[in-house]
Structure 1
Amino acid sequence: MSGLTSGYAGGVVLGGVDLDLGAGGTVAVLGRNGVGKTTLVSTVMGLVRPYAGSVTVDGRELAGARVDTIARAGVGVVPQGRRVFAPLTVAEHLSIATRRRTRGPWNRARVLDLLPRLGERLGHRGDQLSGGEQQMLAIARALLGNPRLLLLDEPSDGLAPAIVAQVGGVIREVAAQGMSVVLVEQNLGLALSVAQEVAVMQKGRVVHRAPCAEFAARPEDRRRLLGVD
């Protein structure tokens, strides 16, 4: 993406974001609350219309396109808060996602092989799942769309450390199979464990990029940019 600018009701939240990512790469987008991270995900997915700028996937311009067009072009999202439908079973969620899937390697069998707990909970409704199970279901729905670019917005939010580790394992697995991943995350440990590089946002812009190993080795940068050690 290049020069991506967007906001709400005429106000500017993203002030010209530049971010590029190769196939199979994982970038962790970091920043304090309110800097525009979720707005970035929403703009790329077409939920917020950009004022200016470009978003391209495999050379195709998607800035300002409809959500369904963006999804069919190969962009998937795991939204903050998971947004699982309470009355639908796991099987029904997967069935709906399968009907909408584009051609690619991810199908129901492969998703359940990666996320076996969901296979044990197929008959359970969304409101009968734990937070970790809901997160796995949200990831499964996104994978069934066979995205080339996967956006994850705060996937560790509210989860126990053991479940966060499982989420990290899933991210590493899909990236190893060639999927590009943009991870918006407050959990620095998770971000540094799964990404190749970090992109730190301040006031609606990316102000710092670095390989994860370099960022992990520079506590002064973490304190200056994020206020953490």
Structure 2
Amino acid sequence: MTPFFRVRELRSGYAGGLVLDGVDLELDAGGVVAVLGRNGVGKTTLVSTVMGLVRPYGGSVTVDGRELAGARVDVIARAGVGIVPQGRRVFAPLTVADHLAIASRRPAAGPWTRARVLDLLPRLGERLGHRGDELSGGEQQMLAIARALLGNPRLLLLDEPSDGLAPAVVAQVGEVIREVGAQGVSVVLVEQNLGLALSVADDVAVMRKGRIVHRAPCAEFAARPEERRRLLGVD
């Protein structure tokens, strides 16, 4: 059976420089994979290339059998791919309601409506009239997730969603990821927080020097501290 999401020999970078050097990655529908690795190994470049924000030099990216490598961002989004970028990228002068309205302008078929997103993320409902620059880091992250969900993605890319957040907010992010996965959305989670990654993902994929060098079920990876130290330098 063909995986829902498949990356094959993906190569990309910036200004002619090579960052991804033949990445292979697969994910079934509704699966959650955590992409781990030290800083600078290509994790953000991977999700940016899949989303079309960085053009590949070569290789294949398919979603539900459709080839998307090198396609425009809007084409990739309409094919069912959403992204929560690193740093949130919330627009400072726009209110929460404005962000949600913009994200809902071209509704895609699926379960995620404004009402359902606010039910999942109730704090946003309390902050609808607040500008982006009036939100806490955690609220901005929830808003970034809400924007992505309103596109009703079948594949959701999350780039460092726990970055700079308090532990309680990180736990909330984890709950949201579990709920999204339970709804059948495939999730690629790029994350430095190993605890969050292991708590929400089915598998881990470890990157080194622009390649996936190790893949394992989370339970197996969690039970092997010597392997984690070798691959990530952490316990």
Task: Answer yes or no: same fold by TM over 0.5.
Answer: yes
- Give the 5 Å matches for 1:53-92: 53-92=59-98
CA distance in 2, matches of 1:101, 1:11: 37
**Counterpart for residue 35 of structure 1:** 41
Please report the TM-score for the alignment, with normalisation by the length of structure 1.
0.99
**Is 1:166 aligned to residue 211 of structure 2?**
no
1:192 is aligned with what amino acid?
L
**Is 1:144 aligned to residue 150 of structure 2?**
yes
**Counterpart for residue 130 of structure 1:** 136
SS at 1:19's partner residue?
strand
2:101 is aligned with what amino acid?
S
**Counterpart for residue 127 of structure 2:** 121
**Counterpart for residue 3 of structure 1:** 9
SS at 1:18's partner residue?
strand
1:165 CA displacement: 0.1
Deviations 1:196-226 (A, max 9, x none): 0000000000000000000000001100000
Deviations 1:4-56 (A, max 9, x none): 10001111100010000001100000000000000001100001000111101
SS at 1:54's partner residue?
strand
Please report the TM-score for the alignment, with normalisation by the length of structure 2.
0.97
1:104 CA displacement: 1.2
What 5-or-longer segments of structure 2 have no aligned partner?
1-6
**Is 1:157 aligned to residue 157 of structure 2?**
no
Deviations 1:85-121 (A, max 9, x none): 0000000000000003311111100100100000000
SS at 1:133's partner residue?
helix
CA distance in 2, matches of 1:196, 1:156: 18
Runs of 4+ deviating beyond 3 Å = none
Q: How many residues align?
A: 229
CA distance in 1, matches of 2:170, 2:15: 35
**Counterpart for residue 104 of structure 1:** 110
CA RMSD of aligned residues (A): 0.5
- Give the 5 Å matches for 1:169-184: 169-184=175-190
CA distance in 2, matches of 1:192, 1:5: 27
CA distance in 1, matches of 2:78, 2:228: 37
SS at 2:174's partner residue?
helix
CA distance in 2, matches of 1:60, 1:105: 22
CA distance in 2, matches of 1:130, 1:39: 27
**Counterpart for residue 32 of structure 2:** 26
**Counterpart for residue 220 of structure 1:** 226
What 5-or-longer segments of structure 1 have no aligned partner?
none
